[in-house]
Amino acid sequence: MHAIANEEAPIYLQELVQHVNETVTHSNLGSSDSITFIKPCTQTKFAERAFSFAGPVWNALPAKLRSIKNKDTFKRHLMTHYFRLAF
């Protein structure tokens, strides 16, 4: 999701998820300024395994972490974030 948020991922992956600020109904929310993605509604457990549904777990990360542009720095801070949650 980091590559998608920074537009470094292939187009076919970028097309699977939708930014909150791309939708008309969410354009004036405070969350439209941050890098968040819409989690689609599903009707089956099988559909919940799709990338478009599972990918927006990104939204649960702190905004400070989501705003990091450098991939190596992001990885380091992500590992630190999950390590702190575990212990």
Q: Which pLDDT value is given to residue 60?
A: 85
User: Considering its fold, how many domains does the chain have in total?
Assistant: 1
Both structure tokens of 5: 């948020």
CA distances from 59 to 28, 34, 40, 70 (A): 18, 9, 13, 18
DSSP state of 15: T
Domain with 17 in it = 2-86
Spell out the alpha helix ranges (H) of the chain.
2-5, 11-14, 51-54, 63-66, 71-86
pLDDT tens-place string over residues 10-60: 888 888 787 776 555 544 555 445 677 777 777 888 877 777 777 767 888
pTM over 0.75: no
